[in-house]
Amino acid sequence: DQIVNHAAKILYMSGGQFRVPMVIRGPGGPAAQLAAQHSQSMESYFYHVPGLIVVRPSTPKDAKGLLKSAIRDDNPVIFIESETLYNIKGEVPEDPDLTIPLGQAIVRREGTDVTIVAYMGMMYRAMEAADDLAKDGISVEIVDPRTLQPLDTATILTSVRKTHRAVVVEAGAGFAGMGSELSAVITEQAFDDLDAPVERVTGVPAPMPYARNLEKAKTPSKERIIEAVRRVCYAGGNGNGTH
């Protein structure tokens, strides 16, 4: 209630007189055998609320740069991290003034045949899928939104208009999720550029099991991503048609 009905609304209800420069930071999404109550993708709860900024960083550099931007922002920011990424290593610039703008996506991998939009752990899984697909001559471009609200649709659409195909991947359940929104944005704004329908690869709509094999089955796998990419690439159309 304090987040959704107060922090998110005070600026609007006060006619711009009061701001809430606050960052709420915590983990979310699949974790290693933490079961139903500690493995939920809760970003969809918050990016449906006008007034909230929602951030999901995928790399150590992004975690630093986006958190600094979130702290300096005058609006309430929901900063959701992935427990499965806490142990990863990556570049962290020593520049104390490093910031990454909120609402700015990044192209993690350049490609020409299909765009995959994915964030957090699913971005790394998409990278693994892209490596395997490259062996078959399928060139994958990967876009990481980093900030889910506001969403950088320009970067995503630029990529899709180049590759003519799109696959969106998210760990959460597909219904009314980020994958649904991304699919809608791409279809509405880049329909004439598509050679195939947008494919979604999402988590199974069920509580997260504790058993490792069931946990794996609920979460999008590299194999499911590869299957989705093959479907859109083999659909043909008015693109390069090489696959």
User: Do 15 and 124 share a domain, yes or no?
Assistant: no
pLDDT band at 196 (very low <50, low <70, confident <90, very high): very high
Q: What pLDDT is recorded for position 235?
A: 46
Q: What pLDDT is recorded for position 107?
A: 99
Phi then psi for 172, rounded to 5 degrees?
Answer: -75, 170
Answer whether residue 39 shows pLDDT above 70.
Answer: no
Q: What pLDDT is recorded for position 239?
A: 42
Query: What is the tens place of the pLDDT at every residue in 131-142?
Result: 999 999 999 999
* DSSP letters spanning 12-41: HHTTTS-----EEEEE-S--SS-TTTS---
Query: What is the tens place of the pLDDT at every residue in 67-109?
Result: 999 999 999 999 999 988 888 999 999 998 899 999 999 999 9
Residue 239 belongs to a domain: no
Angle at 14 between CA 53 and CA 147, to 5 degrees: 5
User: Do 75 and 179 share a domain, yes or no?
Assistant: no
Residue 93 belongs to a domain: no
User: Do 118 and 189 share a domain, yes or no?
Assistant: yes
* DSSP letters spanning 184-195: HHHHHHHGGG-S
CB 105 within 8 A of CB 146: yes
Q: What pLDDT is recorded for position 205?
A: 80
In angstroms, the CA 97 to CA 76 distance is 21
Any idea what the CATH number is for the domain that residue 57 is in? 3.40.50.970
CA atoms 202, 206, 211, 214: torsion sign: negative
Answer whether residue 56 shows pLDDT above 60.
Answer: yes
CB 139 within 8 A of CB 164: no
Residues found in the chain: 243
| Structural domain range at position 197 | 106-233
In angstroms, the CA 115 to CA 228 distance is 11
Residue 101 belongs to a domain: no
| Percent over 70 (pLDDT), the chain | 91
